[in-house]
Structure formats: C-alpha cells, structure tokens
C-alpha cells in the first residue's frame, strides 16, 4: 500500500472534524522533474562557460605563438633578400640598403622593405618604398598576399597622419590605402622600421606608424 498523507479540516456545520487522505506521489514526482530540469540548465551553463574560457585560452596561445616566431632580420639577411635594383613596373629602381628593415619567422619567411631612390625615374613622387612579403600580411587593414609591392604616401592636411598607398610592384595596380598615425612621444625618426610583433607590431615611417598582422604560410 502506498503511503498517503492525511489532511484534517473542520466541518462548519457539525463542529466536528473530518479527515481526508490524499496521495502525495504526484507532487513528489513534479518536484523531482523540476529539480532535474534545473540541474540540466546548470550543467549546460557550465559547459557553455567552459567552452568560452577554452576558446579564449586558445586564442591567446595562438597570438603568443605568432609573436614568438618572429624576430628582427639582420642586415646580412636583408642584404641577401632585397634587390639592389627593385623591379617596379617597367623600371629597375635603385634601393638604399642602409634603410632596409624587416622581420623573419622561424621558417625563414620575411616581411621586409627598403627605400627606393626614385629620382630620375617615372616612379618619382609616386612610390617611396619597396616591400617584399613572403607570408600574407595585413597592414592597416590592407590585406597583402605573398608578393612584391611598392608604396608611397601623402601627409594629411592636419599633418598628424600619412595616407599610405600600396601597389603591386610589377604592374602598379593599387591594392589599398592605409593610414599611418603619429606615434606617441618623440620616437626616433626612421625611413622605415618594421617592428617584430612581440615589440610593437607596427610598420614605422618617419614618426608615423601603421599596425600590421603577419599570417602564416
């Protein structure tokens, strides 16, 4: 026999007391179902939270790994990589090797550039630098595939930024335009400095800088 609960209540007409029995099993079943639903929701909440934390950790690890694979390229490495005369459209323009700068990863892939000596060439006033990217790189929002590029710049009217135009070296086709902003403080003026990601992850032109992100092969 199932256990039953007994409820007593007064009979208003007779002044006596009457008792009624009822089965509490349905109430206990409903309570158990509510507890189970609540427990499932808590488990799901913890699973979702755990996934979010895991994704954040993986993202941070990937960023740290990328930063750790790049270093500043040496003068000797840059001299062996960059041409003495850069192929720009239909011309071969002299480069000023003492201005060369770049980074190299653990696989020996480079992102490097150098100033072009454009005086006397048709590129004079149009291009200022030659750039080699051996991995995909995004500079100021402009996505560059592995290849050879040239870029030039114009100063903003306010003088606090540069408008930098990136072109394919062989054809002169415009790839995109980025903005270089004035660096904080009084940084050393450099014709070109591509900083490693673990330092600043910027490409510096004079006292201006454009953020970049180097990809993998």
- Model confidence, pTM: 0.69
* pLDDT per position as a tens digit, 100-119: 999 999 999 999 999 999 99
Domain range list for the chain: 5-69, 73-214
Geometric angle at alpha carbon 51, from 46 and 54, rounded to 5°: 125
Mean pLDDT lowest among 54-63, 78-87, 105-114: 54-63
Does the structure show a pLDDT above 50 at 75? yes
Report the candidate in 176, 178, 174, 171 with the shortest Cα–Cα distance to residue 205: 178
Confidence of residue 12 (pLDDT cuts 50, 70, 90): very low
- How confident is the model at residue 107, as a pLDDT? 94
């Amino acid at each position: 026999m199932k256990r039953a609960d007994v409820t007593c209540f007064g009979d208003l007409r007779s002044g006596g007391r009457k008792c009624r029995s009822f089965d509490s099993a349905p109430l206990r079943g409903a309570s158990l179902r509510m507890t189970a639903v609540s427990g499932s929701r808590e488990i799901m909440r913890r699973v979702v939270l755990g996934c979010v934390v895991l994704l954040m950790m993986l993202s941070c690890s990937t960023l740290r790994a990328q930063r750790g694979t790049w270093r500043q390229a040496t003068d000797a490495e840059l001299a062996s990589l960059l041409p003495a005369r850069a192929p720009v459209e239909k011309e071969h323009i002299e480069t000023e090797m003492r201005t060369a700068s770049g980074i190299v990863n653990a696989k020996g892939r480079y992102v490097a550039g150098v100033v072009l000596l454009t005086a006397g060439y048709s590129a004079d006033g149009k291009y200022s630098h030659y750039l080699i990217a051996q991995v995909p790189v995004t500079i100021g929002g402009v996505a560059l595939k592995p290849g050879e590029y040239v870029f030039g710049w114009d100063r903003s009217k306010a003088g606090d930024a540069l408008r930098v135009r990136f072109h394919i070296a062989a054809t002169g086709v415009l790839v995109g335009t980025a903005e270089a902003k004035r660096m904080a403080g009084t940084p050393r003026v450099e014709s070109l400095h591509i900083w490693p990601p673990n330092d600043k992850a910027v490409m510096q032109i004079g006292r201006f800088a454009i953020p970049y992100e180097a990809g993998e092969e």
